[in-house]
Structure 1
Amino acid sequence: METQRILEFPHKNMDKRPRKRPRLTWDMPPPLPPPKVLPAIYCGQEFGNGGISNFSFPNNMFYRGIPHNASPPWRPDDKDGHYVFAVGESLTPRYRILSKMGEGTFGQVLECFDNEKQEVVAIKIVRSINKYREAAMIEIDVLQRLARHDIGGARCVQIRNWFDYRNHICIVFERLGPSLYDFLRKNSYRSFPIDLVRELARQILESVAFMHDLRLIHTDLKPENILLVSSEYIKVPDYKFFSPSTKEGSYFKNLPKSSAIKLIDFGSTTFEHQDHSYVVSTRHYRAPEVILGLGWNYPCDLWSVGCILVELCTGEALFQTHENLEHLAMMERVLGSLPQHMVVRADRRAEKYFRRGTRLDWPDGATSRESLKAVWKLPRLPNLIMQHVDHSAGDLIDLLQGLLRYDPVERLKAREALRHPFFTRDHRRFGYPL
């Protein structure tokens, strides 16, 4: 089988419904004219050992004429408080910018070269707005806690360093591979084989159990926040696409060479004892107790895991929706009716989704014909899984029904899920190294 680095796969059938939080983007804004120079404020400290690699870059990787290790010209932030940069410049004398990796509501992620450790790292540059700066300091606290307990750094992304640079909190991470979402997207949303899903699911649940043992709730689990450790992939025949009309490139699909993954993005992570905000989780992965305003805790993470596993098996998000009533209607279509004891306790803000206080106001309350079609096309969960899974379907369906129980009290806990027959039964394996 062919082994390559993952660069770009043909993709189509993009998600038609936007998710609540912006996806990663790969554009780079043009730099603004530099008015003056200010020194860097550097106040970080080291975490972990950070291995030294032999990775090096040719001189033409950087803009010529920029003094090595010099601070770049000062520029005002953009209108949203994002740091404005140019490839080849430095963040403090230690880090040189190689490329932009992504962008989100928090700020940007840049790929940089660490001149001291001689390795490539990812640096999260937080917007220069107080609420994001405060959230970044909480995330650093969480990351330090995780690093102290995650021996070997196998579960969560490892913090290397942090510093405050021109009013931007900068968090330095180990450089990982693409997210599970990006891998699916660039692979034309083709699903993963069930044996690979099993290995990914085991690691996700182990990471969630690890966090819950530390009294931490992630609150934003989704494929975008689960990264493959390696960017390498293998190309294999895709027998589902074999037909006389199939284009040559569709005969094959790509699979990760290694199934090793890590959780990222702890900006929304909450300690159990902290006050809990009213709404958490990106829309597609939001648990029913959050939508109904019933309060939330550790089980909201397990609901998200259930949604993620369905997406890995089918290639598409289980609940591709953009508003609460439609979301609840989709849940009932796939999983059956909401329990009455949860409906009658719904928050005042959620009462409008029900008729006479007990029955979901659907389809009467639908906002459009497209919304009706989006709900009615959904099959029941067992039928959906059996359409895509060739073996182990029964065990997987039973696991998902435990993770996607409406009542958070009855929902499987992470360590309970790891003891499920889907993981413990003697399954046929095709070799996905951890």
Structure 2
Amino acid sequence: MAETMAKMESRKEKHNKPYKFTQLMPMYSLVAGKPLNSSNFSRNACSISRIHRTEKNSEMEMERVTELTMDRRPRKRPRLGWDVLPGESPKAQLGLFCGQEIGNVTSHAPSRATSDLPSSLFVKDLARNDSPPWREDDKDGHYKFELGENLTSRYKIHGKMGEGTFGQVLECWDKERKEMVAIKVVRGIRKYREAAMFEVDVLQQLGRHDMGGNRCVQLRNWFDYRNHICIVFEKLGPSLYDFLRKNNYRSFPIDLVREIGRQLLECVAFMHDMQLIHTDLKPENILLVSSEYIKVPDYKGSSRSPKNASYYKRIPKSSAIKVIDFGSTTYEKPDQTYTVSTRHYRAPEVILGPGWSYPCDIWSVGCILVELFSGEALFQTHENLEHLAMMERVLGPLPQHMLQRADRRAEKYIRKGRLDWPEGATSRDSIKAVLKLPRLQNLVMQHVDHSAGDLIHLLQGLLRYDPSERLAAREALRHPFFTKDHLRRF
């Protein structure tokens, strides 16, 4: 009797035991293998009731099913660039739009396996509670901030260093590394976010190959903060353009131009070896490593009194530079014809449209060197036809084969096999702007006392019209302008 009662109690206990989530999985397959939802819920409920045979018990089981199958897990975020296995380098991903407020996530990832990463960003050590109040971005998508606020708990905002089309650059204190850094806060607009993620990917690649960090700006960190991609860089000195501007656009000594040119070409050669084209080389994107400078008398302005502040000009204490802004960088591809480069540093093949590649960077280097030793941009224009006319004024006529290969956009600048100038000029002022330009040789002789011959020959190689005949970066580095045993002060 006791044995019979024990069996009945065991059967009753088994019957009343709630079904686990895994026990219900076979029933999901009854409805095309889909998870339990409002459309197939009733059909699965019928299956459950048939199993238990009694209406009362089926209702009890339905309550249990509803409770057990309810998804109480936090919302999952997309897989991010820092979701990597130990030892792997985080890789930036295009189209990452996560918008959550996160801190130095990259510092967490390398020491943790992918399976250990949290399913939500709003967890301990990642979500930050000491952030400033939420503010709407301005009408252009720029991040709004106040001095002294935190940009995640790691970075404290000290000031604004600059602003551009991409966003803002903020000077911040890195609390972990105890150093000042520059943080590029990209506008919260899709196309700028995508460009920023590509820049992060390029910077990571450059950093893996430029171990000493001697050529390109170093990426310290990156994160997504309130829908703004934030890229953390080492803090460097002013750009060459800012230094020239604060120096009243007075030229650099030729020895300093030589050292800057050498480093710039080394950086370009390094990138080209990696099949990367910068496409936006200009003085604004070349930074001095140090902000320190000395003042020396400007003998060209000897008519000024020594008591006049403009009697002295600034000379950087160090010639060390680094290239920045890889947002426009691209991999080498055949038949690239879209417009690249800032106007003053744009190569003729970009304007004429037959296609461009590595040599467009070399043309930009040539224009930059002229600006450094003269203090002025070589081609100061904002219009294509005038730009081409300026090139012919300084460097001679454009070759026929390049004019013949011009695409439809540039055909209007050509007439009867030559540049439509001055007939096609838009104004008298445009014609005057072209006529006032000297030939390249005369321009160099006006500003350079020694090494003029070598510099002229180098520039003629850097500024050749035909990109196939233009010097490559490593060829230029072997030029006598760089290899001769010059007496240098820098």
TM over 0.5: yes
Q: Which residue of 2 is the match for residue 363 of structure 1?
A: 422
Q: Which residue of 2 is the match for residue 257 of structure 1?
A: 317
Q: Quick one: distance in 1 between partners of 2:129 and 2:249?
A: 42
How many Å apart are 1:319 and its aligned residue?
0.2
What are the superposed Cα offsets for residues 123-142 of structure 1, whole Å, 9 maximum, x if unpaired? 00011111110111100000
Q: Which has the higher helix share?
A: 2
Contact kept, 8 Å, 2:103 with 2:153, in 1: the verdict is: no
Contact kept, 8 Å, 1:87 with 1:98, in 2: the verdict is: yes
Matches within 5 A, 1:131-170: 131-170=191-230
What are the superposed Cα offsets for residues 247-297 of structure 1, whole Å, 9 maximum, x if unpaired? 722221100000000000000000114884610000000000000001110
Q: Which residue of 2 is the match for residue 103 of structure 1?
A: 163
Contact kept, 8 Å, 2:389 with 2:421, in 1: the verdict is: yes
Secondary structure at the counterpart of residue 254 of structure 1: strand
Q: Quick one: distance in 2 between partners of 1:282 and 1:178?
A: 19
Q: Which residue of 2 is the match for residue 418 of structure 1?
A: 477
How many Å apart are 1:243 and its aligned residue?
1.4
**TM-score normalised by L of structure 2:** 0.74
Q: Which residue of 1 is the match for residue 102 of structure 2?
A: 41
How many Å apart are 1:43 and its aligned residue?
6.3
- Given the alignment of the two structures, is residue 317 of structure 1 paired with residue 402 of structure 2, yes or no? no
Contact kept, 8 Å, 2:272 with 2:358, in 1: the verdict is: yes
What are the superposed Cα offsets for residues 139-167 of structure 1, whole Å, 9 maximum, x if unpaired? 00000000000021000000000000000
Contact kept, 8 Å, 1:95 with 1:115, in 2: the verdict is: yes
One-letter identity of the residue aligned with 1:81:
G
How many Å apart are 1:366 and its aligned residue?
1.2
What are the superposed Cα offsets for residues 288-320 of structure 1, whole Å, 9 maximum, x if unpaired? 000000111000000000000000010000000
Going from structure 1 to structure 2, the CA distance change for 1:394 and 1:374 (only over 3 Å counts) comes to: same
Going from structure 1 to structure 2, the CA distance change for 1:359 and 1:274 (only over 3 Å counts) comes to: closer
Secondary structure at the counterpart of residue 410 of structure 1: coil
Q: Quick one: distance in 2 between partners of 1:302 and 1:233?
A: 29
Contact kept, 8 Å, 2:454 with 2:481, in 1: the verdict is: yes
What are the superposed Cα offsets for residues 91-116 of structure 1, whole Å, 9 maximum, x if unpaired? 10110000000111111100000111
Secondary structure at the counterpart of residue 243 of structure 1: coil
Counterpart of 2:151 (choices 91, 111, 122) is 91
Counterpart of 2:395 (choices 329, 335, 343) is 335
How many Å apart are 1:220 and its aligned residue?
0.1
Contact kept, 8 Å, 1:110 with 1:124, in 2: the verdict is: yes
Q: Quick one: distance in 1 between partners of 2:393 and 2:435?
A: 7
What are the superposed Cα offsets for residues 202-247 of structure 1, whole Å, 9 maximum, x if unpaired? 0000000001011110000000000000000011111111016787
Paired residues, number: 373
How many Å apart are 1:42 and its aligned residue?
3.5
Q: Quick one: distance in 1 between partners of 2:175 and 2:298?
A: 43
Q: Quick one: distance in 2 between partners of 1:341 and 1:428?
A: 42
Q: Quick one: distance in 1 between partners of 2:336 and 2:197?
A: 18
- Given the alignment of the two structures, is residue 243 of structure 1 paired with residue 320 of structure 2, yes or no? no
Higher relative contact order (CA 8 A, sep 6+): 1
Contact kept, 8 Å, 1:225 with 1:263, in 2: the verdict is: yes
Larger Rg: 2
How many Å apart are 1:429 and its aligned residue?
1.7
Structure 1: 5+ residue runs without aligned partners? 1-37, 48-67
Q: Which residue of 2 is the match for residue 377 of structure 1?
A: 436
Contact kept, 8 Å, 1:44 with 1:164, in 2: the verdict is: no
Q: Which residue of 1 is the match for residue 268 of structure 2?
A: 208
Going from structure 1 to structure 2, the CA distance change for 1:243 and 1:392 (only over 3 Å counts) comes to: same
Q: Quick one: distance in 2 between partners of 1:266 and 1:219?
A: 9
- Given the alignment of the two structures, is residue 398 of structure 1 paired with residue 453 of structure 2, yes or no? no
Matches within 5 A, 1:172-321: 172-243=232-303, 248-273=308-333, 276=336, 278-321=338-381
**TM-score normalised by L of structure 1:** 0.84
Contact kept, 8 Å, 2:352 with 2:403, in 1: the verdict is: yes
Going from structure 1 to structure 2, the CA distance change for 1:244 and 1:145 (only over 3 Å counts) comes to: closer
Tell me how large the CA RMSD over aligned residues is: 1.7
Q: Which residue of 1 is the match for residue 488 of structure 2?
A: 429
Counterpart of 1:80 (choices 140, 156, 160) is 140
List 4+ stretches of structure 1 deviating above 6 A: none
Going from structure 1 to structure 2, the CA distance change for 1:346 and 1:277 (only over 3 Å counts) comes to: closer
Structure 2: 5+ residue runs without aligned partners? 1-98, 109-127
Secondary structure at the counterpart of residue 349 of structure 1: coil
